[in-house]
Amino acid sequence: MENTAEKKQKILSCIQPSGIPTLGNYLGALKNWASMADGYDSAFAVADLHSITVRQEPAKLRKQTLEMYALLLSIGLNPEESIIFVQSHVTTHAQLAWILNCYTQFGEMSRMTQFKDKSQTHADNVNVGLFSYPVLMAADILLYQADYVPIGADQKQHLEIARDIANRFNGIYGNVFTIPEPYIGKQGARVMSLQEPTKKMSKSDANVNGFISMLDDKDTIVRKFKKAVTDSEAKVRYAEGKDGVNNLMTIYSCCTGKTLEEIEKEFDGKGYGDFKMAVAQSVIDVLEPVQNKFNDYMKNTDYLKDCAKKGAEMAQRISQRTLDKAMKKVGFMQL
């Protein structure tokens, strides 16, 4: 995110290493990250600090962090052009989060809907990290003076609190932080569960047939699409009440670039069996190049670690400027 002759606006995206993302994550967001990186001064982080609000198995967390880093490169992000780093390798995130905690009101945090939801899901471990999670997210964003942050509907509230914290801090100390805006780029698809098409596709689904993992092999993808829920009409058309078929049409449209009307024409007079096989093949065609790159990267973990080290050094250098400025404004003694 260095200054260039023509100053680009800055954009930041973070993803937790909570297992391999789904087809829904890919078509909804990740697929667009590479093209987004081209137009902006961009930084991408594997947000492992956020992961430990839920108790993690250490070896598994390390493995998933490396895999997520490899996936970021596999979807087309270039470490020569974007800063791609692991959050815990950059000390400024936790430092600024503590400062911002002291400029965030208890009432603001207690109104966060995700905290309420996750407190119920993990009732045995409602920790302070889970409560102040949005402040760390605010630090992630504000450290890089990000102009834009791509967010899903479930993160809208978190970006709003980051803006509130930044405005409050700036109101006291002057212009320290850029006020981030939501990034509204090419709209990614909202992909639903293959088994319960009124619910979003999720890797935490108890039914493994409900989601496609980005690393599922061809046979698994075909098998899951064969089992996908449709309806009794046996007609490929997009309409209210046809949630299963609508979802498959959305996936096929995303993978092939065809419109819903073109898809209806293509499968006019054909049954759901043919349609499901075509959707499965279109998904295989989209995921296969990503999977091949991922497998190559995972055979060369030294390269991945070298990229992560360089990315962390760059992120540390850039974010340190913001942290130093904030610390000076607050009144910490400078050496």
Catalytic residues: 118, 200, 203
Cross-strand partners of 183: 150
Burial 15-54 (b: 16+ CB within 10 A, else e): bbbbebbbbbbbbbbbbbbbebbeebbbbbbbbbbbbebe
Region for residue 7 given its phi and psi (left: phi exceeds 0; alpha: psi -120 to 50; beta: otherwise) = beta
User: Which amino acid, one-letter code, is at 26?
Assistant: Y
Cα R_g (the chain), whole angstroms: 21
Q: How far apart are CA 211 and CA 201, in angstroms?
A: 6
Rounded (10°) CA dihedral 33, 38, 41, 47: 20
Tokens for 285?
A: 């065609």
Say if residues 114 and 154 touch (Cβ distance below 8 Å).
yes
